[in-house]
Amino acid sequence: MSDVPWLSILLAVPALGALALVLMPRGFARAREFALGVSLLTLVLAVLAALQFTVGSGGELQLTEVYSWIPQFGVSFALGVDGIALSMILLSVILVPVCLVAAWNDVPADGTRRLQGYVAWMLLLEAMMIGVFAATDVFLFYVFFEAMLVPVYFLIGQYGGPDRARAATKFLLYSLLGGLIMLVAVIALYAEGPGGTDGFLLANLTGLEIGGVTEKLLFLGFFIAFAIKAPMFPVHTWLPHAATEARPATAVLLVGVLDKVGTFGMLRFCLQMFPEASRWATPVVLVLAVVSIIYGALLAIGQKDMMRLIAFTSISHFGFIVMGIFAMTTVSQTGSTLYMVNHGFTTAALFLVAGMLVARRGSRLIADYGGWQRVTPLIAGTLLLSGLSALSLPGLNAFVSEFMVIVGTFQRYPVFAIVGATGVILAALYILLWYQKIATGPKPEEVAARTHDMSVREKFVIAPLIAAFLVLGFYPKPVLDLLEPAVTTTLQHVGVTDPAPTISAEGSEG
């Protein structure tokens, strides 16, 4: 199609930006502006790249680039996107500038390298996020998957809250363990494929029909890594700790984008490369997904710390995404992929608004608040709006996707769908109770006197997110058009067709 290596450029711009920031002299005063500029440039480039993407041409990979990298290992530097990958990349490049603005005052410009380091790690993380979603070579994917840990580790460990060192180490060890198990599977997978100097290309590894115990073991190797990343019950315990200790902006990137690598990986790698094993594992995965939904929601209700609460809501939401993926109907998977986009925006808004509250009150404990709709009406209002998005109010973004996941799952697994749907009710509880404790009640006079409502900068942070809520809530069609062909292709690889409706044909359209 076009000869411009769009994805490589997208990858290179933030990476070079990060490098430039490191090389600049200590105490470079405009580090934030520079980083924001780089991230906006990346956003523009990503939009341009997206315009090259032909929506109607089925689910195959587009904007592809393949270069030989380590031929001895069969590794290529291969990039390419389908609708799902493209939407995740767009989500990332939108959220990074938002987070940079949100993190404007996180680190003081004190003449040391701290601030430069902070924004440089964010840019590097952006590059790796783009890379991990665009990689079409299993080895390359693995490289990004693992290398991504380093910027997050430093973002949490160097810039986070009081218990940051432990949280960062816990996050890293969990992820590294999953990743290393996956490494064995990656190497073994190569042996199952055609081999040769480009044996790690995804195209060479799909449709292998490995079968038997080998396929199941390989599936598990990949799935455990993705389940840790996602995170699913019972390997979710790192997330609340990491999300609490990280800065809100870091938490957004961590939960909003990075964790999607897990579900993205399930779709692209587990299902497509190991279809038989995926069908074999479906019952267990669905049970774990439903447990995640309910367990995450119940724990969210019980949290005293806002950031922990948001982390547990995410575990619940990831349960929905995984349920939709493994229900393996077109509707449920399209719903899941849309959910991945929506959840990114919703969680971002929740973390950032909560971060604004914490910045004013100096406490993450919900009990320290009360009556804040009279103190900061705008912040309280956006909190409510983000909360409503999280509990899937019709008209806001998450509703469409959650509905599609439940409907799609119901087509094949009605019991799971019904049990999972109770998560929706629990969501209303944890969100509304939280809002009630924070915003309603008598006005806290002594706090109100010295607290300002949302600043202009914070409005700029929140505006794009609310716009995303509304657009995706009222008119999700363009995104769905982007996602659906890719989902159809995935299902073809798995060899699953939608179950024929048994009662009537209604209600299969989200």
Partner 1 sequence: MFDVPEIDYLAILPLIIVFAGGLIGCLLEGFLHRSRRPNAQLWLSIVTLVAALVAVVWVARDNQGITAAGAVTIDGPTLLIQGLVLMLSIIGLLAMSERLGGTNPDAFTQAGVSVPGSVEEADAVRLGGTTTEVYPLTLLSVGGMMLFPASNDLLLMFIALEVLSLPLYVLSGLARRRRLLSQEASLKYFLLGAFSSAFFLFGAVLLYGYAGSMRLDVIAEAIGTQTVMDGLLVPGILLLAVGLLFKVGAVPFHSWVPDVYQGAPTTVTGFMAACTKVAAFGAMLRLLYVGVEAARLDWQPVLAAVAAVTMVVGAVLTIVQTDVKRILAYSSIAHAGFVLTGLIAMQQVGASSTMFYLMAYGFMTIPAFALVALVRSAGSEATHISQWAGLGQRAPWMAAAFSFLLLAFAGIPLTSGFTGKFAVFAAAIANDYAWLAVIGVLASAVTAYIYFKLIVTLYFGDRKNDTVVVTPSALTTFAVVSGVLITLGLGIAPAPLLDLAANAAHFLR
Using the rule CB under 8 A, which residue among 153, 312, 318, 345 binds partner 1? 153
Of residues 371-400, those binding partner 1 (CB under 8 A): none
- Confirm or reject binding of residue 158 to partner 1 (CB under 8 A): yes
- Confirm or reject binding of residue 201 to partner 1 (CB under 8 A): no
DSSP 8-class letter at 25: P
Q: Assess whether the previous peptide bond of 283 is cis (omega < 30° from 0).
A: no
Using the rule CB under 8 A, which residue among 52, 54, 57, 112 binds partner 1? 112
- Confirm or reject binding of residue 487 to partner 1 (CB under 8 A): no
Nearest to 159 by CA among 250, 57, 230: 250
Query: In what helix (H) or strand (E) does residue 476 lie, and over which residues does it extend?
Result: none
Nearest to 384 by CA among 425, 439, 427: 439
- Confirm or reject binding of residue 69 to partner 1 (CB under 8 A): yes
Concatenated DSSP letters for 223-234? HHHHHHHTT-TT
- Confirm or reject binding of residue 172 to partner 1 (CB under 8 A): yes
Question: Closest CB to partner 1 among 161 and 441?
Answer: 161
Of residues 278-307, those binding partner 1 (CB under 8 A): none
Question: Closest CB to partner 1 among 195 and 501?
Answer: 195
Shortest distance, CB of residue 322 to partner 1, whole angstroms? 24
Could you tell me which stretch among 188-196, 256-264, 396-404, 443-451 binds partner 1 (CB under 8 A)?
188-196
Residue 84 C-alpha from the chain's centroid = 12
- Confirm or reject binding of residue 320 to partner 1 (CB under 8 A): no
- Confirm or reject binding of residue 261 to partner 1 (CB under 8 A): no
Distance CA 122, CA 39 (A): 10
- At 312, list the tokens: 């547990």
- Confirm or reject binding of residue 177 to partner 1 (CB under 8 A): yes
**501 close to 508: Cβ distance less than 8 angstroms:** yes
Using the rule CB under 8 A, which residue among 24, 187, 294, 428 binds partner 1? 187
Using the rule CB under 8 A, which residue among 85, 91, 93, 149 binds partner 1? 149
Concatenated DSSP letters for 416-429? HHHHHHHHHHHHHH
**430 close to 423: Cβ distance less than 8 angstroms:** no
Using the rule CB under 8 A, which residue among 25, 51, 72, 502 binds partner 1? 72
Question: Closest CB to partner 1 among 72 and 504?
Answer: 72
Shortest distance, CB of residue 176 to partner 1, whole angstroms? 5
- At 226, list the tokens: 């993705």
- Confirm or reject binding of residue 184 to partner 1 (CB under 8 A): yes
Using the rule CB under 8 A, which residue among 24, 183, 287, 429 binds partner 1? 183
Could you tell me which stretch among 171-179, 234-242, 319-327, 382-390 binds partner 1 (CB under 8 A)?
171-179
- Confirm or reject binding of residue 500 to partner 1 (CB under 8 A): no
- At 453, list the tokens: 């409502």
**379 close to 453: Cβ distance less than 8 angstroms:** yes
Concatenated DSSP letters for 166-221? HHHHHHHHHHHHHHHHHHHHHHHHHHHS--STTTTBHHHHTT----HHHHHHHHHH
Could you tell me which stretch among 31-39, 165-173, 311-319, 499-507 binds partner 1 (CB under 8 A)?
165-173
- Confirm or reject binding of residue 176 to partner 1 (CB under 8 A): yes
- Confirm or reject binding of residue 181 to partner 1 (CB under 8 A): yes
- Confirm or reject binding of residue 14 to partner 1 (CB under 8 A): no
**245 close to 156: Cβ distance less than 8 angstroms:** yes
- Confirm or reject binding of residue 157 to partner 1 (CB under 8 A): yes
Nearest to 262 by CA among 313, 318, 307: 318
**226 close to 95: Cβ distance less than 8 angstroms:** no
Distance CA 116, CA 83 (A): 34
Shortest distance, CB of residue 70 to partner 1, whole angstroms? 5
3-state DSSP assignment of residue 62:
strand
Shortest distance, CB of residue 116 to partner 1, whole angstroms? 11
Residue given tokens 């973002």 in the structure block = 155
Query: In what helix (H) or strand (E) does residue 63 lie, and over which residues does it extend?
Result: strand 62-70
Shortest distance, CB of residue 470 to partner 1, whole angstroms? 40
Using the rule CB under 8 A, which residue among 168, 300, 306, 328 binds partner 1? 168
Distance CA 125, CA 149 (A): 9
Could you tell me which stretch among 185-193, 273-281, 373-381, 427-435 binds partner 1 (CB under 8 A)?
185-193
- Confirm or reject binding of residue 143 to partner 1 (CB under 8 A): yes
Q: With the CA atoms of 129, 135, 138 and 144 taken in that order, what torsion angle do they form, in degrees rounded to the nearest 10? A: -30
Q: Which residues of this chain interact with partner 1, rule CB under 8 A?
A: 68-73, 112-113, 142-144, 146-147, 149-150, 153-154, 157-158, 164-165, 168-169, 172-173, 176-177, 180-181, 183-184, 187-188, 190-191
